[in-house]
């Protein structure tokens, strides 16, 4: 029993070290913090969202129809960013990296096909954080609280 426990613990340590080495884990100093209570940042995020995201994710964050099922092109439609979607299930750092670098980079598959543009070089880091802060600001308080809990339990 002790040997199998050490194997599991050792595996977990190696996995954590691998994630740290590949940059999948950030230190607390580099953690992305969404600022959904800052009216200036939320206002900027609303403008950037309308200019860059609403054409796919909807003016009201409603996403595209049948967003959980692949379309004819084999790609998933844009999900909603309101409380009916899964955006709030991801911490701010994951959402930031997904937006900046794309799904393929996030999951380690450069061949992953997605209609989601990569915003590195298009939007600044501050604009990405503003958009994500705007999105979070629209969620009901209980969903925002659940997201906050995800942020603090990382």
CATH fold label, 31-152 = Cytochrome Bc1 Complex; Chain D, domain 2 (1.10.760)
pLDDT at 151: 83
The predicted model scores a pTM of 0.79
Q: At residue 3, does pLDDT exceed 60?
A: no
Q: What is the mean pLDDT of the chain?
A: 85
Rg (CA), the chain: 17
What are the pLDDT digits (tens) for 109-145? Answer: 989 989 999 999 999 999 999 999 999 999 999 999 9
Q: Is the dihedral of CA 14, 16, 18, 20 positive or negative?
A: negative
User: What does 98-130 look like in DSSP terms, one character per residue?
Assistant: HHHH-HHHHHT-TT---SSPP-BTTB-HHHHHH
Q: What are the residue boundaries of the structural domains of the chain, listed by start?
A: 1-30, 31-152
By percentage, how much of the chain surpasses pLDDT 70?
A: 80
Total count of residues recorded for the chain: 154
């Amino acid at each position: 029993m002790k040997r199998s426990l050490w194997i599991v613990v050792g595996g977990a340590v190696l996995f954590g070290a691998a994630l740290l080495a590949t940059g999948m884990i950030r230190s607390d100093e580099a953690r992305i913090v969404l600022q959904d209570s800052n009216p200036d940042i939320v206002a900027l995020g609303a403008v950037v969202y309308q200019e860059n995201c609403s054409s796919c994710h909807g003016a009201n964050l409603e996403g595209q129809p049948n967003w959980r099922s692949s379309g004819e092109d084999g790609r998933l439609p844009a999900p909603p960013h309101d409380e009916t979607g899964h955006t709030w299930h991801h911490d701010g750092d994951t959402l930031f990296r997904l937006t900046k670098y794309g799904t393929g980079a996030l999951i380690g598959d450069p061949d992953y096909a997605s209609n989601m543009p990569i915003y590195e070089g298009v939007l600044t880091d501050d604009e990405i954080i503003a958009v994500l802060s705007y999105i979070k600001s629209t969620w009901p308080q209980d969903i925002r609280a659940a997201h906050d809990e995800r942020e603090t339990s990382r």
